[in-house]
């Protein structure tokens, strides 16, 4: 059960994800969360480091889109348009259809798409359910939607459980 909540990679922020590593790992498309991953919650400002990171991503031939659970179309559209990337709003993550919609926009598949987000219960769980490459980033700040704040408490419990109660990986002999 815990495996669904384990990201492939972790990074302190979006702009600290090493683009060269994504290229090495065969990633061609990125499904990126908006609130507290790209910008502070309900904020339209994209920081200069994040902008520069998107330029690097583009130069590496990796496509990107925003997939946000935020229901305000205008809010998601403004940020996505500033970066010149497509978007999905009101996305219902961790439902799989949210990620499938992102892959459709990107023209990528299960083996070459990465999900980037700040929440275990939406971004990481959803991406892992589809077998995608998942990257957990530290949330930009503490200000967020009340429902998200409750989720954060649950995340803390989950991380504690993963640390203390996760069983060792089962031994799986390979038969030749």
Residue 57: C-alpha distances to residues 19, 69, 84 (Å): 6, 23, 12
Dmax over CA atoms of the chain, in Å, equals 56
C-alpha triplet 119, 62, 148: angle, nearest 5°? 10
CA–CA separation, 150 vs 133, rounded Å? 26
CB 129, CB 4: distance < 8 Å: yes
Q: How far is the CB of 168 from Mg ion (least distance, A)?
A: 31
Q: Is 35 in the site for Mg ion (CB under 5 A)?
A: yes
Least separation in angstroms between residue 119's CB and Mg ion is: 5
Pick from 14, 17, 36, 50: which binds Mg ion (CB under 5 A)? 36
Site string for Mg ion, 105-144 (x = CB under 5 A): -------------x--------------------------
Compare residues 33 and 112 and give the one whose CB is closer to Mg ion: 33
Q: Is the peptide bond before 163 cis (omega within 30 degrees of 0)?
A: no
Least distance between Mg ion and beta carbon 157 (Å): 19
Total residues binding Mg ion (CB under 5 A): 5
- Name the residues that contact Mg ion, by CB under 5 A: 33, 35-37, 118
């Amino acid at each position: 059960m815990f495996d669904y909540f384990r990201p492939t990679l972790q990074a302190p922020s979006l702009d600290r994800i090493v683009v060269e590593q994504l290229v090495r790992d065969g990633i061609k498309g990125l499904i990126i969360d908006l609130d507290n991953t790209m910008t502070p919650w309900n904020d339209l400002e994209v920081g200069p480091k994040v902008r520069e990171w998107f330029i690097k991503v583009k130069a590496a031939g990796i496509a990107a889109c925003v997939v946000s659970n935020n229901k305000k179309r205008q809010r998601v559209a403004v940020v996505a348009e500033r970066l010149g990337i497509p978007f999905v709003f009101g996305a219902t993550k961790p439902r799989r259809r949210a990620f499938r919609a992102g892959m459709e926009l990107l023209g990528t598949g299960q083996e070459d798409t990465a999900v980037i987000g700040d929440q275990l219960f939406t971004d990481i769980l959803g991406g892992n359910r589809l077998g995608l490459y998942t990257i957990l980033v530290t949330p930009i700040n503490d200000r967020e939607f009340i429902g998200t704040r409750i989720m954060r408490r649950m995340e803390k419990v989950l991380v504690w459980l993963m640390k203390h109660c996760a069983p060792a990986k089962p031994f799986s002999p390979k038969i030749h």
